[in-house]
Structure 1
């Protein structure tokens, strides 16, 4: 595995690698020297430089306002179901790297967006609450990206990891604003990869 090219992040006393070629994660135990870790943390906090090997703090994120969305319409419902179906079909047999490429290339609806990314994601989550199942993070995030594109909007697809025990998670964000997750749910995750949409 060419680890120098794959997304990498420190999480606690380990280094996590996202192996895009084999669609898998790997980790290496690599405890930090306490004094060095403290010095790096203080340097970053003081604006002396950003250490990209250190995890992104959850305090950076902003929670969405869940009640801010337009009144659901039939068109919204159709768009929601179409996004969910496209995402579910698109997941089959594809690696995360392939999904990321497809997400970057999603075509947005032409014309001005009729709502903000926050309003659209809140509407998506509201409609999702009526489904008889709760999709896992990969499907729900991929479907949300499709729904946003249908509204003429774009967002980032963020992948995070944590160690001891190992967990992987993903969510959608617009800048610092979380669109389908809450700060307290991701506070233990270090961001390993962010898939940003291609510029039109």
Structure 2
């Protein structure tokens, strides 16, 4: 029998450990060492005990499937630059207002709709955008202006502990312009910490390269 991760569950390997993100439960977690070893056997489609299989099925992490889908998160392109670094552009009032509006909407959505619904809405907008051809005459200019607008918001409101709403807002703002952003949620261990950022191809939009390097992507939208 094949198994697949339950929808909303993703994972990555950090060093020797596996870290999981359960979007519907809005939590990150590690398995015990024995459960992690059993999960790795399941991923390799090696024989595991009935107790192992029953434990994972009961936990809801995995489901029986016609096709095995137990792969870790596929990382995005490795960032090679950032629009947030050495960006001399000034931001217009309407651009900053639009960024502030998206920030407020992202914060409200995370608080009242939850992480899973907020991420699902962004993913839905990306799918819709991918089905249409957009004529973007100067995406670099738009990316720089968007980055500058969110930098201005950070200066006004602060950015500490706001990486998730900032990144979701930046992704939606790029979609407003017909661009297809990549939202990344990353994790690190010792100590555990999670971070989020938005990029376009291999260029970061609302973060600097050195701030993302310690993190392993666990969810890419």
Query: TM-score under structure 1 normalisation?
Result: 0.71
| Displacement after TM superposition at 1:17 (Å) | 0.9
Q: Which runs of 5+ in 1 are unaligned?
A: 31-51, 196-200
Deviation at 1:102, TM superposition (A): 1.1
Map Cα deviations across residues 94-146 of structure 1 (whole Å, 9 max, x no partner). 332211111123477x8646543531332223322431332511111112123
Residue 155 of structure 1 and its aligned partner are, at CA, apart by 0.2
Question: Which structure has the bigger radius of gyration?
Answer: 2
In structure 2, the CA distance between the partners of 1:25 and 1:130, relative to structure 1 (3 Å rule), is closer
- 1:8 aligns to what? 11
Q: How far, CA to CA, are the matches of 2:109 and 2:137 in structure 1?
A: 25
Please list, as runs of the form range in 1=range in 2, the aligned pairs for 1:107-118 lying within 5 A after superposition: 112=136, 115-116=139-140, 118=143
The match for 1:142 is 168
Distance 1:149 1:73 in 2: 19
Most deviating of 153-162 and 180-189:
180-189
Residue 35 of structure 1 is matched in structure 2 by: none
Question: Any idea what SS the aligned residue of 2:144 has?
Answer: helix
Aligned residue in 2 for 1:22: 25
Is the 1:161–1:169 contact (alpha carbons within 8 Å) kept by the matching residues of 2? yes
Alignment length (residue pairs): 173
Aligned pair 1:132/2:157, yes or no? yes
Measure the CA separation in 1 of the matches of 2:76 and 2:154: 29
Q: Report the Cα offset of residue 157 of structure 1.
A: 0.7
The structural deviation recorded for 1:3 is 8.1
RMSD after superposition = 3.2
Cα drift, residue 69 of structure 1: 6.4
CA contact (8 A) 1:57 1:187 kept: no
Change (3 A) 1:103 1:123: same
- Which residues of structure 2 form unaligned runs of 5+? 34-70
128 and 101 in structure 1: CA distance in 2 versus 1, 3 angstrom threshold: same
**Structure 1 position 179, deviation (Å):** 1.4
CA contact (8 A) 2:89 2:148 kept: yes
How far apart in 1 are the matches of 2:213 and 2:76?
7
d(CA) in 2 for partners of 1:9 and 1:170? 15
The normalised TM-score by structure 2 is 0.65
> After the TM superposition, which of the residue ranges 167-176 and 65-74 deviates more from structure 2?
65-74
Provide the rounded CA distance (Å) in 2 between the counterparts of 1:140 and 1:86.
10
- Shift of residue 166 of structure 1? 1.3
SS in 1 for 2:19: strand
Question: Does structure 2 retain, via aligned residues, the 8 Å contact 1:69–1:119?
Answer: no
* Cα distance per residue 1:171-200 (max 9 Å; x no partner): 1111222112222222221111101xxxxx
Q: Given the alignment of the two structures, is residue 61 of structure 1 paired with residue 64 of structure 2, yes or no?
A: no
Greater per-residue helix proportion: 2
